[in-house]
Amino acid sequence: MTKRLTLWALPLAVSMMLAGCSSNSASEPAQSAASTTSVDSQKEAASDGALTAEQVKSVASKLMEGDNAVQVVGNEQMQQQLEIAKNAKAPSGIKPEKCAELNAKYSVTDLTASVSATATSSSESVGKVVQVFSLTDDATRNNVSQALTLDDLEGCENVTVETGGEKIETERQILPLDVKADQSLTMSTQMDAGAGQLLTSVVVQALRDGNFVLVTLQTGSQQAAELAAQAVELTDRAFAEIDAVRKQ
């Protein structure tokens, strides 16, 4: 059950968690390759000024201090997930078809050239995922930068995604919020979870220098505006923590 990384159709956090559903036979070669990639990324990071695996994990962890049920995934495991996701097929079943084309245009298929970490927390009201990627090559940075130029959904505010015989109805909106980064894209999504329940998520994706931060918040009880303010605050704090670890 692997999903292609995309900055538009699905939060990257969701894509990577789904990547973990692959069968053992499919994931074993990817894990072997990822071990080498992880070492190479850390060596490259040391030479080009990117953050180390320990620094990235520290940043992600600090952003969740005081939260409940916190889990932190470091660079080695992240590389395994990214390697699997890199080779996954593009999402299918997106309607209208023109929205599938827009999705392909604003997709990032490979983030293995990074040193990364993920931190998650959950409570009765809000689930949080914070991901920090310290990018280690110009091509990856350029790909992320291009994806973040999305500023018009071009009639794809309402999208249906069909998967496993189920149709998921989503309503999306780009939010013009100020993030302390070189580039950013903030999007809210409402999804029909069934039984009359609507799930609201806000994803902030931001790039500054060679660091890419992705914050996803999801709730069934808060409004998008309130959730967006929290997500932007977490994103700004992530870049502040990155500055702090650089000075250590």
Task: Summarize pLDDT for 230-239 with one digit per residue, the tens.
Answer: 999 999 999 9
Which range has the top average pLDDT, 85-94, 184-193, 237-246? 237-246
211-219 sheet: strands from edge to edge? 71-73, 114-122, 126-135, 211-219, 197-208, 183-194, 166-174, 158-163, 94-95
Whether the per-residue pLDDT at 10 is higher than 80: the answer is no
Neighbours of 176 (CB within 10 A): 6
Distance CA 228, CA 4 (A): 25
- Considering the chain, what is the average pLDDT of its residues? 80
Q: Where are the domains of the chain?
A: 12-247
Higher-confidence residue of 229 and 89: namely 229
Read off the amino acid at residue 248.
Answer: Q
What percent of the chain has pLDDT above 90? 52
Q: Please write the tens of the pLDDT for every residue from 116-156.
A: 999 999 888 889 999 999 999 999 999 999 999 999 998 99
Q: Is 179:235 a contact under the CB 8 Å cutoff?
A: yes
Q: What is the DSSP string of 85-115?
A: HHTSPPP--EESHHHHHHHHHT------SEE
Question: Alpha helix locations (H) across the chain?
Answer: 12-19, 24-48, 53-62, 75-86, 97-105, 138-147, 224-247
Q: What is the pLDDT of residue 24?
A: 32
Higher-confidence residue of 237 and 5: namely 237
Q: What is the pLDDT of residue 40?
A: 52
155 three-state secondary structure: coil
pTM for the predicted model, two decimal places:
0.82
18 three-state secondary structure: helix
Q: What is the pLDDT of residue 1?
A: 35
Q: Please write the tens of the pLDDT for every residue from 29-72.
A: 333 333 344 445 444 444 456 899 999 999 999 999 999 899 99
Closest among 102, 89, 97, 85 to 9, alpha carbons compared: 102
Q: What is the pLDDT of residue 223?
A: 84
Q: What is the pLDDT of residue 157?
A: 92
Q: Is 116:102 a contact under the CB 8 Å cutoff?
A: no
Taking CA atoms, 218 is separated from 20, 94, 130, 171, 230, in Å, by 20, 21, 12, 14, 11
Distance CA 124, CA 128 (A): 11
229 burial level (CB within 10 Å; 0-12, 13-18, 19+): middle
Whether the per-residue pLDDT at 248 is higher than 80: the answer is yes
CATH 3.40.1000 fits 12-247, yes or no: yes
Which range has the top average pLDDT, 10-19, 58-67, 88-97? 58-67
In the DSSP assignment, the letter for residue 23 is -
Q: Please write the tens of the pLDDT for every residue from 150-196.
A: 999 989 999 888 777 778 888 999 999 999 999 999 999 988 877 77
| C-beta contacts of 32-36 below 8 A and 24+ residues apart | 33/83, 34/76, 34/79, 34/80, 34/82, 34/83, 34/112, 35/76, 35/79
